[in-house]
């Protein structure tokens, strides 16, 4: 086989997938923030905000699912390191809504719920994958809990917003 000159760190010199060795890396405070959203019909958003979904508190269940997903990322993504997370915070913003938090949608308009996950650790590798996994699972949980009303929901715009810590320093997505 030929030697790989790929900048992708999850491949060795022969091009074989491997788990990156982080033993020599310094343990630093690392933070990652990811975000995504799920677009839905106005009636679906109204049900979520009113707490009237048949399966219960949609955003409460999605928050717990996201936290669990962040903790289990290494079980889902084959080359991720298991990490001792020090913080997982999940925030939801429903839009459009009025100042009382009630959906204020015009006929034909769509609503959405945005999810932001902030994940932290002190360790030799970052938590970007944990933050991204948390957002995806939160949005999938919302879909699962509301699909009886709205199978046309769309999960979109999932991305890393920022990361801090480690040798590569900070990254902020423009």
Encode pLDDT of 7-19 as tens digits: 767 667 777 766 7
The pLDDT-based confidence of 100 (bands split at 50, 70, 90) is: very low
The pLDDT-based confidence of 23 (bands split at 50, 70, 90) is: low
Give residue 8's pLDDT: 61
Q: Measured between alpha carbons, how far is 25 from 90 in angstroms, rounded to an integer? A: 28
Q: What is the mean pLDDT of the chain?
A: 86
| CATH superfamily name and code, 28-172 | Molybdopterin cofactor biosynthesis C (MoaC) domain (3.30.70.640)
How far is CA 23 from each of CA 16, 20, 26, 86, 124, rounded to the nearest angstrom?
Answer: 20, 9, 8, 20, 7
What's the chain's Rg over C-alpha atoms?
19
Q: Where are the beta strands (DSSP E) in the chain?
A: 28-40, 85-95, 111-123, 154-164, 171-172
Known catalytic residue at 144 = yes
Residue 139: how many other CB atoms lie within 10 Å: 25
If we measure between CA atoms, which residue out of 71, 63, 64, 74 comes closest to residue 87? 71
Higher-pLDDT residue of 43, 22: 43
Q: What residues have CB less than 8 Å from 43, skipping those under 6 apart?
A: 149, 150
What pairs with residue 92 in β-bridges? 115
End-to-end CA distance of the chain: 40
Residue 34 has pLDDT above 80, yes or no: yes
Higher-pLDDT residue of 5, 23: 23
Q: Which of 57, 98, 144, 150 is catalytic?
A: 144
């Amino acid at each position: 086989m030929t030697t790989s000159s790929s900048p992708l760190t999850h491949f060795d010199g022969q091009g074989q997938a491997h788990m990156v060795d982080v033993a020599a890396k310094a343990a630093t405070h690392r933070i990652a923030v990811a975000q995504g959203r799920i677009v839905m019909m106005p009636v679906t958003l109204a049900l979520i905000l009113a707490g009237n979904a048949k399966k219960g508190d949609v955003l409460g269940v999605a928050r717990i699912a996201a936290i669990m997903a962040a903790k289990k990322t290494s079980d889902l993504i084959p080359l991720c390191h298991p990490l001792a997370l020090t913080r997982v915070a999940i925030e939801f913003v429903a839009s459009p809504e009025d100042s009382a938090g009630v959906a204020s949608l015009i006929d034909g308009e769509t609503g959405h719920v945005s999810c932001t996950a902030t994940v932290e650790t002190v360790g030799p590798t970052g938590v970007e994958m944990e933050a991204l996994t948390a957002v995806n699972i939160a949005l999938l949980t919302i879909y699962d809990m509301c699909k009886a009303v709205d199978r046309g929901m769309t999960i979109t715009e999932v991305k890393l917003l920022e990361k801090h810590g480690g040798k590569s320093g900070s990254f902020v997505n423009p």
